Amino acid sequence: MTGARAIANRDCEPMRKKLATHQRARDAALETMAFVAREITATVRVGLSVTDGWRTRAHQPRHLHDGEDAVVLVHGLMATAGAFAPMLRHFLDAGVTVHTFTFLPGSSLDGLARRIDRAIAEDRAARRVHLVGHSLGGLACRWYVQEHAHDARIAQTISIASPFHGVGLADAFPDAVRGVVMPLNAQLQRVISEAPRHLARIPHLSVVAERDPLVRPMQKGVLPGAPSWIAHGSGHNGVLYDEKLHALLVRTIKRWDVPDEPRVAVAE
């Protein structure tokens, strides 16, 4: 009987392997479908937010815990400040004042730096100001602190899915359109080359989305010399609605602890 059972098990082994392969493929397909659904939903939410957030606003928490920290949120291309709504609620619940504004596509990094400066100037109470930007907004935050005279209260910059090394997708556009999609290549090179001189003075955290189709590979979203954090399972827009990221930002800004996720190695 033992020999017969061994023969039966041997004969069934190819079938078990085949079934296991089919199961892995099925699980991968379901995971991909779930991710695509999340990213489409996030993109729709960003699109619907275009009607909100046009005014420069100071959002005051209902219960101001200590009044020491304020955040300036800078959105990405083809969005408005309304895209930050879920993140905004987390900051307010933590007692952090938040400043937002909206800019039109085609705005320059210098123009955005001036908008950031005006938003900071409206808050004279905060002892520390943190700049948080998504995509193009993250590039603008770093450009501001490295290339412009700025408020001495700035404690750090945080980028979310920001293409510090450019976006390959921009090359698919005609020259006339590319200037709007990604007009910043020379400035990005300067941000990267000058970063070592400034990081000790104003530190930076790069948040990268694991499944971002625009900033690929993930190393392209990392400012060299700065720590990074991976938003697992998130895409370029979906990362804005990642509750783990919201909690991380609050902890980092309130200095409760520091990011503990694996860092992304920067390509040479």
Enumerate domains of the chain plus CATH numbers: 48-253 (3.40.50.1820)
Q: What is the pLDDT along the chain (268 residues), one digit of tens a residue?
A: 555 555 555 666 676 666 666 566 555 454 544 444 544 554 555 554 544 555 557 788 876 655 689 999 999 988 888 889 889 999 999 999 999 999 988 889 999 999 999 999 999 999 999 999 999 999 999 999 999 999 999 999 999 999 999 876 555 455 555 555 555 778 999 999 999 999 999 999 999 999 998 898 999 999 999 999 999 999 999 999 999 999 999 999 987 555 555 556 443 3
Rounded CA-CA distance 118/108 in Å is 16
Count of H helices and E strands in the chain?
A: 7, 7
> Taking the CA atoms of the chain, what radius of gyration do you get in angstroms?
22
Which pLDDT belongs to residue 166?
84
Does 224 sit behind a cis peptide bond, omega within 30 degrees of 0 on the bond before it? no
CA 13, 14, 19: angle at the middle one, nearest 5? 95
Predicted pLDDT at 77: 86
SS3 content of the chain, % helix, strand, coil (to 5): 50, 15, 35
Two structure tokens written together for 214: 């625009």
Which pLDDT value is given to residue 175? Answer: 57
Largest CA distance in the chain: 85
